[in-house]
């Protein structure tokens, strides 16, 4: 995107995704469920970084990282290694983070993937497996705080870092990419992005090939769009003078603040982790992970289009939501009218939390769709019943009965309605003859007069009228 000042924006993202489905940490047997614990309760000598301890790799974490890599169309390395990333900071008790590296002989677990976002491809540079550092809490704000508190419960939690090429061109695109990434990862069942801090993001932003600024600590995807918009505006204002630095996103004040000049890679003194053996994944092992993998979003969308005849757009919207997809599949087994079903689910259920199990049984929903398909009720009436049922907790099929919902399908009655509407609008019929929009307008006017009229019958009779029948 060209900004108002004509400078091209390039954004690359580093997404940190906790493998929340794991029961233990990456290199020790401490529980990974740290969110409900008191600070520093879920720690042991390994994740607390005491000297003399040895890490043992969590095999399930390797499997989950491989699943993410395959879902993002990456090439999984047959042999990858852990590296030590050395830095001194209180969130890292060992003084180094066990991570992966793709230079100086290092190989990350996967590389070279891509994600399709709105018809465009965002390339994935690499995926690496690493441990999460502890969590620092500052008193007040990070730049003025007189002390900080540290909780090592998070230290050693398995993270998958997903690094993109700088293919993203504005804040909105970054948000769409992240939402897609989250739905892919959630469909694998390896991480729950809803959990606080389970998916975090650093962003590298540059304008027109200027200095690259890294914004760290964006704790949720909601904040990403705000942080990027702020940073693009800031760099545009200082056009040409942005310096290579690391900035912190301050959520409370909605600004980025300078933390330090950007570290160079050599500052981290990367070297191979001597306490861990390389990860060896034979092609057969990768293939077996692939076979056992749940379906990812894109594959699910194309299956919906092929198997149920859904329109491409609707299939995509439905497939992006795991819960709604599961509900749709239950309903689809019970009856026909799949496009109608999917349309109602996406249109009526995605904006609200899915009703608790039992509140909207698939049988009732399928029965409601059948009523539309057989013209017993109109789509508008079905929506009315659905909303009323969800609001009151009554079964939708009962709501239809209670409210006496039924469509008017009697052709004589509808023809009389059309007579009235057409008579009140001289010339409208003539106009509708060659123009789809005017035709739909007339159908709409008839439905306005009688909302219970079955739109299909109205359209049929109106079309006959146009052709002089
Ligand atoms: Zn531990």
Percent of the chain with pLDDT over 70: 95
Other beta carbons within 10 Å of 45: 12
- 265 has a pLDDT exceeding 80: no
Rounded to the nearest angstrom, the distance between the alpha carbon of 57 and the centre of ligand 1 is 12
Q: Is residue 2 a part of any domain in this protein?
A: no
Between 253 and 315, the more confident residue is 315
pLDDT for residue 145: 78
> What does pLDDT average to over the chain?
87
Distance separating alpha carbons of residues 404 and 305, to the nearest angstrom: 35
Beta strand 83-86 with 148-151 is unpaired
Q: Region 400-423: what's the mean pLDDT?
A: 84
Q: Is residue 249 a part of any domain in this protein?
A: yes
Distance separating alpha carbons of residues 290 and 310, to the nearest angstrom: 26
- 250 has a pLDDT exceeding 90: no
Rounded to the nearest angstrom, the distance between the alpha carbon of 131 and the centre of ligand 1 is 11
Residue 251 banded pLDDT, cuts 50, 70, 90: confident
Rounded to the nearest angstrom, the distance between the alpha carbon of 49 and the centre of ligand 1 is 9
Question: Residue 258 in contact with residue 245, Cβ under 8 Å?
Answer: yes
Q: Is 235 found in the same domain as 316?
A: no
Total structural domains in the chain?
Answer: 3
Q: Is residue 77 a part of any domain in this protein?
A: yes
For the stretch 36-47, pLDDT in tens is 889 999 999 999
Q: Is residue 4 a part of any domain in this protein?
A: no
Q: Is residue 262 a part of any domain in this protein?
A: yes
Residues of the domain holding 383:
295-402
For the stretch 183-242, pLDDT in tens is 899 889 999 888 888 999 999 998 877 788 888 878 777 788 888 888 888 888 876 566
Q: Is 221 found in the same domain as 241?
A: yes
Distance separating alpha carbons of residues 374 and 318, to the nearest angstrom: 24
Q: Is 390 found in the same domain as 442?
A: no
Q: Is 281 found in the same domain as 302?
A: no
Between 433 and 327, the more confident residue is 327
Rounded to the nearest angstrom, the distance between the alpha carbon of 152 and the centre of ligand 1 is 9
Q: Is residue 139 a part of any domain in this protein?
A: yes
Rounded to the nearest angstrom, the distance between the alpha carbon of 45 and the centre of ligand 1 is 6
Q: Is 271 found in the same domain as 222?
A: yes
For the stretch 99-117, pLDDT in tens is 998 888 889 999 999 998 8
Q: Which residues pair with 464 in a beta bridge?
A: none
Residue 139 banded pLDDT, cuts 50, 70, 90: confident
Q: Which of residues 288, 323, 354 is at a domain's end?
A: 288
Rounded to the nearest angstrom, the distance between the alpha carbon of 269 and the centre of ligand 1 is 25
Distance separating alpha carbons of residues 353 and 351, to the nearest angstrom: 7
Our CA angle for 161, 57, 292, nearest 5°, is 70
Rounded to the nearest angstrom, the distance between the alpha carbon of 201 and the centre of ligand 1 is 24
Q: Which residues pair with 160 in a beta bridge?
A: 17, 129
pLDDT for residue 3: 46
For the stretch 59-103, pLDDT in tens is 999 999 999 999 999 999 999 999 999 988 888 889 999 999 888
Q: Region 379-390: what's the mean pLDDT?
A: 88
Which stretch of DSSP H or E encloses residue 213? strand 213-218
Q: Is residue 1 a part of any domain in this protein?
A: no
Residue 357 banded pLDDT, cuts 50, 70, 90: low
pLDDT for residue 356: 58
Distance separating alpha carbons of residues 130 and 84, to the nearest angstrom: 10
Rounded to the nearest angstrom, the distance between the alpha carbon of 158 and the centre of ligand 1 is 11
- 469 has a pLDDT exceeding 80: no
Distance separating alpha carbons of residues 428 and 450, to the nearest angstrom: 18
Token pair 């859904």: residue: 310
- 358 has a pLDDT exceeding 70: no
Q: Is 111 found in the same domain as 189?
A: yes
Rounded to the nearest angstrom, the distance between the alpha carbon of 198 and the centre of ligand 1 is 18
- 280 has a pLDDT exceeding 80: yes
pLDDT for residue 310: 92
Q: Is residue 152 a part of any domain in this protein?
A: yes
Rounded to the nearest angstrom, the distance between the alpha carbon of 281 and the centre of ligand 1 is 25
pLDDT for residue 459: 86
Q: Is 311 found in the same domain as 278?
A: no
Q: Which of residues 288, 309, 327 is at a domain's end?
A: 288
Q: Is 365 found in the same domain as 445?
A: no
Residue 436 banded pLDDT, cuts 50, 70, 90: confident
Q: Region 50-57: what's the mean pLDDT?
A: 94
Q: Is 368 found in the same domain as 271?
A: no
Q: Is 209 found in the same domain as 83?
A: yes
Q: Is 387 found in the same domain as 330?
A: yes
Q: Is 349 found in the same domain as 217?
A: no
Rounded to the nearest angstrom, the distance between the alpha carbon of 44 and the centre of ligand 1 is 4
Q: Which of residues 259, 288, 317 is at a domain's end?
A: 288
């Amino acid at each position: 995107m060209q900004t108002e000042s004509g400078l091209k924006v390039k954004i690359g993202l580093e997404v940190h995704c906790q493998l929340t489905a794991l029961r233990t940490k990456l290199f020790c047997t401490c529980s990974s469920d740290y969110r409900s614990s008191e600070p520093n309760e879920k720690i042991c000598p390994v994740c607390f970084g005491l000297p003399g301890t040895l890490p043992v790799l969590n095999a399930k974490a390797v499997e989950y990282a491989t699943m993410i890599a395959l879902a993002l169309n990456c090439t999984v390395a047959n042999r990858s290694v852990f590296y030590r990333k050395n830095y001194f900071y209180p969130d890292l008790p060992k003084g180094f983070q066990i991570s992966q590296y793709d230079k100086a002989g290092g190989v990350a677990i996967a590389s070279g993937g891509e994600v399709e976002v709105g018809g465009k491809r965002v390339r994935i540079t690499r995926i690496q497996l690493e441990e999460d550092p502890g969590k620092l809490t500052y008193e007040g704000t990070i730049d003025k705080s007189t002390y900080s508190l540290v909780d090592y419960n998070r230290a050693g939690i398995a993270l998958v870092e997903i690094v993109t090429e700088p293919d993203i061109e504005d804040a909105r695109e970054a948000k769409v990419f992240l939402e897609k990434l989250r739905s892919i990862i959630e469909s694998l069942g390896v991480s729950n992005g809803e959990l606080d801090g389970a998916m975090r993001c650093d962003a590298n932003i540059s304008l027109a090939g200027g200095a690259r600024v890294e914004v760290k600590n964006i704790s949720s995807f909601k904040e990403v769009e705000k942080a990027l918009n702020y940073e693009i505006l800031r760099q545009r204002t200082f056009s040409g003078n942005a310096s290579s630095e690391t900035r912190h996103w301050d959520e409370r004040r909605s600004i980025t603040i300078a933390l330090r000049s950007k570290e160079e890679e050599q500052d981290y003194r990367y070297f191979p982790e001597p306490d861990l053996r390389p990860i060896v994944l034979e092609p057969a092992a990768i293939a077996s992970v692939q076979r056992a993998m749940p379906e990812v979003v894109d594959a699910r969308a194309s299956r919906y289009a092929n198997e149920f005849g859904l329109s491409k757009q609707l299939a995509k919207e439905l497939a992006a939501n795991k819960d709604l997809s599961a509900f749709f599949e239950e309903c689809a087994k019970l009856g026909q009218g799949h496009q109608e079903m999917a349309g109602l689910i996406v249109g009526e259920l995605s904006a609200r939390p899915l009703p608790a199990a039992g509140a909207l049984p698939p049988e009732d929903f399928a029965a409601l769709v059948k009523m539309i398909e057989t013209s017993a009720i109109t789509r508008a009436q079905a929506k009315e019943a659905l909303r009323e049922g969800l609001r009151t907790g009554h079964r939708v099929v009962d709501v239809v009965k209670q409210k006496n919902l039924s469509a008017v399908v009697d052709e004589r009655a509808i023809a009389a309605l059309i007579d009235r509407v057409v008579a009140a609008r001289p010339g409208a019929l003539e106009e509708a003859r060659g123009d789809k929009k005017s035709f739909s307008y007339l159908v709409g006017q008839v439905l306005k007069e009688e909302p219970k009229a079955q739109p299909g019958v109205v359209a049929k009779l109106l079309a006959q009228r146009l052709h002089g029948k």
